[in-house]
Structure 1
Amino acid sequence: MNYILRKHMEENAPLEIIYLSEQGKITQRKIQVLEIYPGHIHAFCFLRQTKRTFKVANILSARLIKARFYRSG
């Protein structure tokens, strides 16, 4: 998972993730990885339209998405 996150951060490419929240809810998010830290990432979340922190262990899957979700600027 770390390889995928780092690769897409370096390429400035958005991802679609399936994420398990702290409350046990599974959500689908479109994100742009901004920073990677041990155990978590900071990313722009297109659903919430703000920067969010995600635990890497809670990312169940990640895949490249179409460029139309790319955050400009």
Structure 2
Amino acid sequence: MNGLFQISLEQKELISLMYMADDDKITDRSIIVRKIDDIHIHAYCLKRQQIRKFKRSNILAAGKAPQRRKAYA
């Protein structure tokens, strides 16, 4: 999983997370990593549209986000 976060940091790749908040609610998040430290992943969260801190221990799953398709009119 660390390699995935590093790629997002370096290449601004979008990642999908399954995350458990401190109140035990499980949410899906799409993020772009900004900083990595021992305890947190600091990332731009598309759902909240702001920089958020995600505890590494609360990340249940992570993977590359599916590519968005361009709409043609």
Q: Give the TM-score, by structure 2 length.
A: 0.84
How far the C-alpha of 1:67 sits from its partner, in A, is 4.5
Structure 2 residues without counterparts, runs of 5 or longer: 69-73
Give the distance between the partners of 1:67 and 1:36, measured in 2 at CA: 24
Matching residue of 2:17: 17
Matching residue of 1:48: 48
TM-superposition CA deviations, 1:38-67 (whole Å, max 9, x none) = 110110000000000000111111111134
Q: Which moved more, 1:37-46 or 1:1-10?
A: 1-10
Structure 1 runs of 4+ aligned residues shifted over 4 Å read: none
Matching residue of 2:4: 4
Give the greater-gyration-radius structure (CA).
2
Question: What is the root-mean-square deviation of aligned Cα atoms in Å?
Answer: 1.2
Structure 1 residues without counterparts, runs of 5 or longer: 69-73
In percent, how many aligned pairs have the same letter? 38
Count of aligned pairs:
68
Q: Give the TM-score, by structure 1 length.
A: 0.84
Q: Which moved more, 1:59-68 or 1:42-51?
A: 59-68
Give the distance between the partners of 1:51 and 1:20, measured in 2 at CA: 17
